[in-house]
Amino acid sequence: MKYCSLFSGIGGFDLALKRLGHECVWANEWDKYAGQIYNSRFNRKIDTRNIRLVKTDELPDFDLLVGGFPCQAFSIAGKRLGFEDTRGTLFFEIARIIKDKRPKYFLLENVKGLLNHNRGETFQTILTTINELGYECEWQILNSKNHGVPQNRERIFISGYIRGEPRPEILPIGQTNTIYSKSNEDKEKIHNIASTMTARQYASWNGNFVINQINNPIHSNNRVYDSNGISPTLNTMQGGNRQPKIAIPVLTPDRENKRQNGRRLKENGDISFTLTSQDKHGVFDGAKIRRLTEIECERLQGFPDNWTEGISSSQRYKCLGNAVTVNVIYDICKGYNEQH
């Protein structure tokens, strides 16, 4: 099947679809660093223009349109301006291309917060637009931790097809996923699923870890996690240093007595120094703190090791935080193979 990839990033959709035997006929991504990674990994030239400037008659025909349209406008971490934010209106660029090219199917990804943004009116606008285009759709919230990677990453996926055509069995898949309620019990469950992976492969990970973070900082960016269990969601890092920090065992007995940047490291049981962009060191309960490595973040998103190699460290973290989890896309898109 031929597909068109919008907001391609470092190729999460494309890697999954390539593994399933589908062919990309056109891809677009205007972030130059993500584009560099995409070009090097897929050995083809991605279109780096602003999608608003691309005329639909320039595009080849395709059966499937995929894309994780920019989510900052809908994320609970942002100002949540939705369609008032120019990034939010990029959904209508997807609608423009669907209207003119009439693909059989589309698959879109966004943050879970899209569902309840502006009391649900934003999502209703999206559904109304899809309906007016002559398409039916289903949607489901899926969590990466249920698809073979230890990351607590909830995203909404919207699957569409031309009205009147046979309904493809794309969604729902796997365990039923619903929006968490606002009860204290459910909030507690959400906060407790938070930790990270170590540098080893997780082939035997069974998804049963439920672990609390091991400190209680004022700012969420300064959280420290154990080295076992499920990672918190990777984000765009806004240039770097917001990736999760983990505690690892002290390697030498005299480590506690050494100084770092002119300050004594914390004693066992003390709360860690505040983590800043200048000082990434400290001790928590007999451990030192480090951030996730780029390779660990690649594994958390289902990419091969060193997939993002070739750009700066901060851009690697940002690109990975923006990416879709390859495993999730693969599990969804297996349904398209069953249609053909």
pLDDT in tens, 65-91: 999 988 767 666 667 676 677 666 899
- CA-closest candidate to residue 317, choices 110, 5, 33, 6: 33
pLDDT tens digits for 289-325? 778 889 999 999 999 999 999 999 999 999 999 999 9
Domains of the chain: total: 1
Is 219 part of any domain?
no
Cα atoms in the Cβ-side hemisphere of radius 13 Å centred on 32: 1
Mean pLDDT of 126-138: 94
Within-domain flag for 208: no
Across residues 125-146, what is the average pLDDT? 94
- Does 97 fall in a domain? yes
Long-range contacts of 41-48 (CB under 8 A, 24+ apart): 41/10, 41/11, 41/15, 41/307, 42/11, 42/14, 42/18, 46/8
Band of pLDDT at residue 281, cut at 50, 70 and 90: very low
pLDDT reading at 135 higher than 90: yes
Is-contact 123 110, C-beta < 8 A?
no
The catalytic residue positions are 71
CB neighbours (10 Å) of residue 23? 11
* Structural domain that includes position 12: 2-180+319-339
d(CA 213, CA 201): 22
Reference 82, options 92, 93, 71; nearest CA is 71
Report if residue 142 sits inside a domain: yes
Residue 220, in any domain of the structure = no
* Residue 280 counted as domain residue: no
In this structure, is residue 116 part of a structural domain? Answer: yes
The upper half-sphere exposure of residue 335, i.e. CA atoms within 13 Å in the direction of its Cβ, equals 20
Task: For 92-121, write each residue's pLDDT tens digit.
Answer: 999 999 999 999 999 999 999 889 888 888
| pTM recorded for the entire structure | 0.73
Q: Give the domain CATH number at 143.
A: 3.40.50.150
Query: Which of these ranges, 46-60, 234-248, 286-300, has the smallest mean pLDDT?
Result: 234-248
Reported as a single tens digit per residue, the pLDDT across 158-216 is: 999 999 998 888 999 875 444 333 333 333 332 332 223 322 322 333 333 333 456 66
In a domain, residue 292? The reply is no
Of 152, 166, 177, nearest to 332 (Cα)? 177
